[in-house]
Every structure is written in C-alpha cells, then in structure tokens.
Amino acid sequence: MPTTAILALEDGRCFSGISFGASGTTTGEICFNTSMTGYQEVITDPSYRGQIVAMTYPMIGNYGVNTEDNESAGPHIRAFVIGELCEIPSNWRSQESLSSYLERHDILGIEGIDTRALTIHLRSLGAMRACVTTELSEADAIATAKNSAPMEGSDFVKEVTTKESYIWAEESRKWTLPNASIGETETYQELPPVKYRVVAIDFGLKYNQLRMLRQAGFEVEVVPAATSAEEILAKKPDGLFLTNGPGDPAALNYIHAELKQLITKLPTFGICLGNQLLAHAYGGKTFKLKFGHRGGNQPVKDLRSGKISITSQNHGFAVDPDSLPDDIEVTHINLNDNTVEGMRHKTLPIFSVQYHPEAAPGPNDAAHFFTDFAELIETSKINRE
C-alpha cells in the first residue's frame, strides 16, 4: 500500500503525494531544477546541502542510478520532489533504482506532486523553507517548516568540505560510447602530461571539475575550506582553484580573510561559490536571489565578445555589481535577469564565473574555461620572468 507524503511550505501551501525512498520528516529550503536529465548528478551535488530539490521534468528515475555518475561521495539533498517516479529503470549502465538509492542513503522522496504548480508558486513568491514528511499532519508540517533554519546566514561548507588534503588521482579520461559495430569495447581520450600544479579549495566541489582540470594538464591537490593562506602558499602551487559549494557566501568570513591574502599572490579561477567568495575578498557584497538559477539551460552573455552560451547553474545567491571596486570588471551576465555571471580582475590574473563550466549535467559551451586557466597561468609566468 503506497504511503502518503506531504510537502508543506512555510507560507501554508501544501502538496500531497506518494512517498518513495526513505520515510520520516525533513526540512530545508525548497528550490526547483529545470534540467531534463542528470538527476543523479543533482542529488550528489554538494551545493544542494540543506535544500529540498524539486525537478520540473515530469518523469524522473527512468535510467536508474550508477556509481560512475556521482558528483561526490553521496547525496546532499534533504529531500527529492518529483512529478512521476519511474519504478523500472531501463539503461545498460543502471545499477539500482532511484527509490532504492534514496532509501539506502536515508533521503526522503515524494512523487505525484504538481511540480508545475509548485514551480509557479516559488517563482511568484520566492524560495522558502519547507517540510517533507510521511508522519506529520499538514498543520504540524507547516509549523515545522516555519521553525526550520533559513538559508541566509548558513554555513554548510563546513559539512561538505574534505577533512584531509589529497591529490586527485581518480579516472579523468574523457569517455565516449564505444562503437560495437567496429569491435570497440571502450573509447578513451588519453590525458595530457601534467604541466601545472594547482591547489583546489574544497567548498563543496563536484568531481567533474577535478576531471576537467586534469584533462587541461593540471595536477590538483584538494584542501579543506578552512586551510590558511600560509599553508596554501607553502605548497608553492602554480595556481589556485575555488570550487562551488552550498549556503550563504556572506556567512563565510573566515574564508574571505584567507582569500584576500591569496588573490594577490596566485593566478586564480573561481566557480559558483568561488565566484561569490572572490567578490567578498575584493570588498564586494552578495545578495539572495528570489528563486535562484538551477538547471542546464541558463543563457549567459559574454560582455566582451557578445557571445551567448547556454550554461549549467546551481546557485541561490549573486554578486552585487555596484559593490565591486573599480579594478573588477563584470565580464558575463545572465540574460534572464541581468545578474552577474562572471568577473575578472583588471590587473591581477584572476577570473571567475557564477555558472558551472564543468556541467555534469548540462551543456559544454563553457568547458573552455579550464584551458583558459592553463593559459592564464602560462601568461602569468612569462610576465613574471
């Protein structure tokens, strides 16, 4: 017999559906993602720490779950909200169903929700706290949502960052589907030799960032978010990479202070939360978006070339362009709302983007930034010599 589940929003709106995955009660900020595929990558993206994710695509789970598509060691979402669950996945790479995967990791799922109505509600009123439960009444679920912690002021980076430093040595070769008609069993593109060493500060990174850095000729040492500038500089890296991550960038003062020391000394590339933390290190500010940008179809304009890219995004905060000092140039904007999507320092070798050039899931329009980072380091070395 199916178990009823409730999604309750802090403003009193409730949706009733069917439970899958784990049972119980959980809370978090609810947001929506417009990607048509890549639900496993979404579930395992550490940037979703503390959030309940609703997928706008109507059927989820149709190709199952496998170990190779994880973007971190496990799920980070608080709960998963979908229109319809595919209970019998069909894909040669599938190792288990979405429901069994969420149950194994104690993550609540709710299906049968009118995700179109939910998305319109959130677009109109903005992101809000929510509760997903299989055991509370609607009234109690609404009260639980209202009493849960807000996203503003939260530091989830401490929960998702690596505990120890490590050198990335996992499989990073580009893989394509083998052509069985000509006898291929696997197709890999060989990795280039290591040319540069970079330190990646882990605010909640996705594995594909490390893969793409390796594909661009980098050896990557990943360090915890609270690593001091002195410790990083002692490693004598060629560059600094700032990853994505969850929570409110304004709440991370202990990181702002260290980055302020690092940006004058190392060529730097930042992604998503890394972009926002750079803004704070520059002396700028960030603000909370009404409902965030989450999905693989966000249009971004390069203000220098006029080129439009379709990008993968996952963020609920943005940089305030009016707060940036004169030596910072806004290089990219979001064409839906004109928010900042990229910056560069006018004199120092530093650039950053708000979106995800590593995608996973999403388009590859912005993948060039990893080779751009290598070129930035090379140019910086030549200039120093």
**What pLDDT score was predicted for residue 177?**
76
Judgement on whether residues 136 and 171 belong to the same structural domain of the protein = no
Range of the structural domain that residue 256 is part of: 157-384
Smallest CA-to-CA distance from 199 within 170, 172, 235 is with: 235
Pair 29, 127: CB distance under 8 Å = yes
Name the residues annotated as catalytic.
Answer: 272, 356, 358
pLDDT higher than threshold 90 for residue 159: yes
Q: What integer is the mean pLDDT of 9-21? A: 98
Main-chain dihedrals φ then ψ at residue 98, nearest 5 degrees: -60, -40
Pair 275, 342: CB distance under 8 Å = yes
Within a domain: 151 = no
Judgement on whether residues 170 and 86 belong to the same structural domain of the protein = no
Within a domain: 367 = yes
pLDDT higher than threshold 90 for residue 183: no
pLDDT higher than threshold 90 for residue 178: no
| Mean pLDDT over each residue of the chain, to the nearest integer | 96
**What pLDDT score was predicted for residue 343?**
98
Give residue 160's identity as a one-letter amino acid code: V
pLDDT higher than threshold 70 for residue 54: yes
Judgement on whether residues 133 and 179 belong to the same structural domain of the protein = no
Q: What would the pLDDT profile of 231-290 be if each residue is shown by its tens digit?
A: 999 999 999 999 999 999 999 999 999 999 999 999 999 999 999 999 999 999 999 999
Judgement on whether residues 127 and 163 belong to the same structural domain of the protein = no
Within a domain: 70 = yes
pLDDT higher than threshold 90 for residue 65: yes
Smallest CA-to-CA distance from 52 within 109, 14, 4 is with: 109
Judgement on whether residues 87 and 195 belong to the same structural domain of the protein = no
Give residue 37's identity as a one-letter amino acid code: T
**What pLDDT score was predicted for residue 161?**
98
Q: How far apart are CA 310 and CA 298, in angstroms?
A: 5
Two tokens, residue 28: 């978090």
Q: Kindly list the distances between the CA atom of residue 360 and the CA atoms of 253, 295, 325, in Å, as whole numbers in the listed order.
A: 29, 11, 33
> CATH no. for residue 335?
3.40.50.880
Judgement on whether residues 132 and 258 belong to the same structural domain of the protein = no
pLDDT higher than threshold 70 for residue 385: no
Half-sphere exposure of 162 (CA within 13 A, CB side): 18
Q: What integer is the mean pLDDT of 221-238? A: 98
179 or 352, which is more confident: 352
**What pLDDT score was predicted for residue 182?**
76
pLDDT higher than threshold 70 for residue 100: yes
User: Where is the domain boundary, 146, 175, 201?
Assistant: 146
Position 1 confidence tier, pLDDT thresholds 50, 70, 90: low
Q: What integer is the mean pLDDT of 32-38? A: 97
Judgement on whether residues 111 and 188 belong to the same structural domain of the protein = no
Q: What would the pLDDT profile of 361-382 be if each residue is shown by its tens digit?
A: 999 999 999 999 999 999 987 7
pLDDT higher than threshold 90 for residue 356: yes
User: Where is the domain boundary, 146, 169, 199?
Assistant: 146
Q: Kindly list the distances between the CA atom of residue 295 and the CA atoms of 55, 59, 84, 147, 332, in Å, as whole numbers in the listed order.
A: 9, 16, 19, 28, 18
Which residue is listed with tokens 């894909």?
91
Q: How far apart are CA 373 and CA 385, in angstroms?
A: 19
Judgement on whether residues 103 and 239 belong to the same structural domain of the protein = no
- Lowest pLDDT segment from 69-73, 188-192, 246-250, 351-355: 188-192
The residues with which 167 forms a beta bridge, in sequence order, are 221
**What pLDDT score was predicted for residue 384?**
66
Number of domains in the chain: 2
> CATH no. for residue 13?
3.50.30.20
Smallest CA-to-CA distance from 332 within 303, 355, 370 is with: 303
Q: What integer is the mean pLDDT of 133-147? A: 98
Q: What integer is the mean pLDDT of 149-162? A: 97
Judgement on whether residues 59 and 184 belong to the same structural domain of the protein = no
138 or 87, which is more confident: 138
Judgement on whether residues 120 and 170 belong to the same structural domain of the protein = no
Judgement on whether residues 237 and 169 belong to the same structural domain of the protein = yes
Strand 25-33, strand 51-55: pairing: parallel
